[in-house]
Amino acid sequence: MNKRRLTQNQQRQIQRNHHKKISKKEFEWQDEMLGELQSGLVVTRHAKHADVETPTGAIFRCNLRRTLKNVVVGDRVFWRLGNEQLQGISGVIEALEPRQNALTRPDYYDGIKVMAANIDQIIIVSAVLPQLSLNIIDRYLVICETANIPALIVLNKIDLLSEAERIAVQQQLAMYEKIGYQTLCLSADTGENMGELDRYLAQGTSIFVGQSGVGKSSLINQLLPEVNALTGAVSGNSGLGQHTTTASRLYHLPQGGNLIDSPGIREFGLWHLEAEQITQGYREFQGILGTCKFRDCKHKDDPQCALREAVAEGKIDAIRFENYHRLLESREESKSQRHFRKDD
């Protein structure tokens, strides 16, 4: 790999790493132990290392230089292969290529956490077990709009529904179709409608996101039986998933396209976003925002609020509007809880 193809920033990153003092306790790769720089794709990020795939499909477990904590699945990196394996690790990641985009979420300890990079489509997986939550779908949609990444809403486990129940959930999802989101009802268990899903996956890199237990890894196994991803039953007591998948992983699909399985998130807050970003995250508000009587309208009890009028006229779905206020309220609550935690 020609060094001149690295940006100045990346070269500086590498220089800094080489000049850093090497702690006696912690092992560090020395320059003479490593081969040429080469490009690779991060297919899994673990706590202390990452699995990097070469353009020919070989996967090497790599350490990360200490300045590079924020390496995630989907990242394109520059790395070097060691002359020999050390403590089960084959090489080291030296620098990160610029990202096309990043999927983020707030984290109580690290502030903002990047979950994945270079994503072309976010597939929001929901299910009827755990109970279907439109509020969680709306949270993810705000993230998709903020990052400007197209979304697909998938409802899994429809094999558990009677005909009447199917009609009821389809009616619930119709409000998303109305505002231009694609939705898909399917079953990883019976394979129903899995062919439809294939069509959405053929290009670019997609990621499954959603609560624990909705069946993200089960869908991976349906699409790629040889993968044999670990799945875990939804708890009979709490009705919640058991957080079976612990690290995101990128897979290549036979018909083209990449698919990332991600771990379900316990608490998916939006306090890393500004209130304005949440408002902008509701695509059906566009064109109406800015036409309220008062410029600082909070769209609650304010007189002549154009959004509320649009709800009354049926132009904005009442459930979405209610969720919008719930998102803003829970954002405020978690922000103050975070300050409390930081202070004590």
Ligand X SMILES: Nc1nc2c(ncn2[C@@H]2O[C@H](COP(=O)(O)OP(=O)(O)OP(=O)(O)O)[C@@H](O)[C@H]2O)c(=O)[nH]1
Integer Cα distance of 20 and 225 in angstroms: 45
Please give the structure tokens belonging to residue 67: 């300045």
Q: x/- string (CB under 5 A) for Zn ion, residues 258-297?
A: ----------------------------------x----x
Contact status: 305 vs Zn ion (CB under 5 A) = yes
Integer Cα distance of 136 and 312 in angstroms: 24
- Choose which of 45, 65, 80, 157 interacts with ligand X (CB under 6 A): 157
Shorter beta-carbon distance to Zn ion: residue 49 or 299: 299
Q: Which residues contact 318 (CB under 8 A, 6 or more apart)?
A: 311
Shorter beta-carbon distance to ligand X: residue 95 or 260: 260
Within 263-322, which residues bind ligand X (CB under 6 A)? 263-264
Dihedrals phi, psi of 57, to nearest 5 degrees = 100, 0
Dihedrals phi, psi of 228, to nearest 5 degrees = 55, 50
CB-based burial label for 182 (10 Å; 0-12, 13-18, 19+): middle
Within 55-94, which residues bind ligand X (CB under 6 A)? none
DSSP string computed for 213-236 = TSSHHHHHHHH-GGG-----PPPT
SS3 (DSSP) at 35? strand
SS3 (DSSP) at 112? strand
Interface region with Zn ion, contact rule CB under 5 A, candidates 133-141, 250-258, 304-312, 332-340? 304-312
Integer Cα distance of 140 and 158 in angstroms: 21
Residue 274 per-residue DSSP state: -
Shorter beta-carbon distance to ligand X: residue 231 or 279: 231
Within 241-260, which residues bind ligand X (CB under 6 A)? 241-245
Shorter beta-carbon distance to ligand X: residue 243 or 283: 243
Contact status: 231 vs ligand X (CB under 6 A) = yes
Contact status: 307 vs Zn ion (CB under 5 A) = yes
- Binding-site ranges for Mg ion (CB under 5 A): 216-217, 244-245
- Residues found near Zn ion in the complex (CB under 5 A): 292, 297, 299, 305, 307
Binding residues for ligand X, rule: CB under 6 A, are 156-157, 159-160, 187-189, 212-218, 231-234, 241-245, 263-264
